[in-house]
A and B are shown apart, each in its own frame.
Chain A
Amino acid sequence: MISNRKFTYKIALILLFVAAISFVSDEKFRVLATFIACSGAGLICYLSIKKSLAELKAEQMKAEKKHLSEMETAIKPIAKLLSERVQIIPVLTNQLNDVTQQTESAALDIGEKFMSIVQRARNQAKKASVAFGRFAGNGGSSSESLTDLSKKALSDVIESLREMTAVTRQTLNDMEIIMEDAGHIKKIVAEIEYIADQINLLALNAAIEAARAGEHGRGFAIVADEVRRLSDRSNTAADEIKKLITKVETDIKVIYSKTEKSATESSARSSKAEVVVEDALKKIDDIINETKIKLNEMGAETESLAKDISSIVISMQFQDITRQRIEHVVEPLVSFKAELEDITQKARSMSEKIHEWEGNSSAEWLEKMYTMESERKVLKEVLKNG
């Protein structure tokens, strides 16, 4: 503003000088003075413009420095903030990696536990099947089952009872035959008694005839007497046989009666036992069949459970999918960190350069940066012309 006023004054003085010259009568002096006045005015204009340009440049430099300072002020906290934020990224990635590891570890643990449940359920079903097999005889074992042995034992008992009843019946039949034989013997004894009586009668007649024959019949009388005695002895023997046979007959009848009673009772018991045993065997069969059905159901349930658990274990693959998705988050984060570090570094570098610019003019800064004489020459030429 001051320079503008001074410039106006100088121009006004020159115009006054030119006005004053116009009153000079000497033409040559007037032309010379006018030329000098014009040259002076031109010089004043040049110097004034140069000064104004310098002032303008200084103001521009000042504004530039102010702007740079503002930029530095703005960039510094951004660089600091970026630097701080960059430090957070490894924490985030480590957190995500830790979550992945923990999830994987948990998934493995759950998987193992589920597999163990399946294994145990199957083992239990297998054990139940083997135990049932030992009991019921379908466990694939070559040895006889408990129920088979029980059935056999019960069947043997029934068979023994049947055999005993049959033996008793046979005994009764045998006794009946003996009694029949005894009856025959009694008839034979009666025949013997009849014959002995007839012989006795014959011996008596022979003795009578021998007595009548006198001396000649004495020998015959002795024979007749002997025959009579034999007849008596036959009668006695037959009588004893008869008594014995009667006794045997009586005894056998008693035994027969007892045996018959026993046989009847035994037969009844045998029939009853047979019914009981058959009922027991039927019940055992029913229980076995029922247990078989239950066991098959249990096996099917176990297999179904195993399948369900297998599906659960397979569905644990969500963990792998989650892991990969987290990895897809971590990978860009790592890349992002590197980029942010680069940006931070650039911001710092920019801030440092701005700081340098603040201390020096652009020309000084360029001069400092240039390393070749040719570069400096171009700079000087531009500055000189510009």
Chain B
Amino acid sequence: MGKTVLIVDDSASMRQLVSFALRDAGYNVVDAINGKDAMNKLNGTKIEMVITDLNMPEMDGIEFIKQVRNNPGYKFTPIVMLTTESQESKKQEGKQAGASGWIVKPFTPEQLIDIVKKFVR
């Protein structure tokens, strides 16, 4: 049975293609349209890794990361930020909130899978 990765992105096409790449590599995928939706889906679900966008309505990526880290069940779950933002300040903000790493869009399937393999063994 494959490991489960949670994808959080308000863009349906991004959710679709990240899910496609991960499923193709043998992972199970759960997706959410923003931080709030992701928090509801996280509740009690066994998730090995989270990949989240930063700019989202209702609850953005930074707030979502903070809330995940406040949940004892997901305190050490790897969280990777998936964003077009390449500025160091945004990365630092995400890291301070509790993110484990980041991947800047656009990325190749290999880059995505490499980073997932790095965190999910």
Residues of A within 8 A of B (CB): 104, 107-108, 111-112, 115, 118, 306-307, 310-311, 313-321, 323-324
Contacts A313-B20, A314-B109; A111 near B13 (Cβ below 8 A):
yes
Contact, CB under 8 Å: A320 / B13: yes
Contact, CB under 8 Å: A317 / B21: no
Provide the residues of chain B in CB contact with A317, threshold 8 Å.
13-14, 17, 105-107
Question: Known pairs A311-B109, A320-B9. 17 more at Cβ < 8 A?
Answer: A104-B13, A111-B13, A111-B20, A115-B20, A306-B24, A307-B109, A310-B109, A311-B108, A314-B112, A317-B105, A319-B11, A319-B13, A320-B84, A321-B84, A321-B105, A323-B11, A324-B55
Indicate if B16 sits at the interface (CB-CB under 8 A): yes
B88 CB, min distance to chain A CBs, angstroms:
19
Contact, CB under 8 Å: B11 / A320: yes
**CB-CB nearest in chain B for A107:** B13
Residues of B within 8 A of A (CB): 9, 11-14, 16-17, 20-21, 24, 55, 84, 105-109, 112
Cα A320 to Cα B105 in complex, Å, equals 9
The secondary structure that dominates the A interface is helix
Provide the residues of chain A in CB contact with B109, threshold 8 Å.
307, 310-311, 314
Contacts A321-B106, A324-B55; A314 near B17 (Cβ below 8 A):
yes
Contact, CB under 8 Å: A104 / B11: yes
Cα A353 to Cα B87 in complex, Å, equals 49
Cα A115 to Cα B20 in complex, Å, equals 8
Provide the residues of chain A in CB contact with B16, threshold 8 Å.
108, 111-112
Cα A310 to Cα B110 in complex, Å, equals 10
Cα A112 to Cα B14 in complex, Å, equals 12
Cα A306 to Cα B84 in complex, Å, equals 26
Contact, CB under 8 Å: B108 / A314: yes
Contacts A321-B105, A324-B55; A314 near B14 (Cβ below 8 A):
no
Cα A34 to Cα B106 in complex, Å, equals 102
Contact, CB under 8 Å: A316 / B17: yes
The 3 closest A-B pairs by CB, nearest first: A107-B13, A320-B11, A320-B14
Residue of A111, A310, A314, A323 ringed by the most chain B CB atoms within 10 A: A314
Sampled A-B contacts (21; CB under 8 Å): A104-B12, A104-B13, A108-B16, A112-B16, A118-B24, A306-B24, A307-B109, A310-B109, A311-B109, A314-B17, A314-B107, A315-B106, A316-B17, A317-B13, A317-B105, A317-B106, A318-B106, A320-B13, A321-B84, A321-B105, A323-B11
**CB-CB nearest in chain B for A318:** B106
**CB-CB nearest in chain B for A310:** B109
B106 CB, min distance to chain A CBs, angstroms:
5
**CB-CB nearest in chain B for A323:** B11
A327 CB, min distance to chain B CBs, angstroms:
8
Contact, CB under 8 Å: B84 / A324: yes
Provide the residues of chain A in CB contact with B11, threshold 8 Å.
104, 319-320, 323
B41 CB, min distance to chain A CBs, angstroms:
20
B84 CB, min distance to chain A CBs, angstroms:
6
Provide the residues of chain B in CB contact with A323, threshold 8 Å.
11
Contact, CB under 8 Å: A310 / B21: yes
Cα A318 to Cα B17 in complex, Å, equals 11
Provide the residues of chain A in CB contact with B13, threshold 8 Å.
104, 107-108, 111, 316-317, 319-320
Contact, CB under 8 Å: B17 / A111: yes
Provide the residues of chain A in CB contact with B105, threshold 8 Å.
317, 320-321
Cα A115 to Cα B112 in complex, Å, equals 17
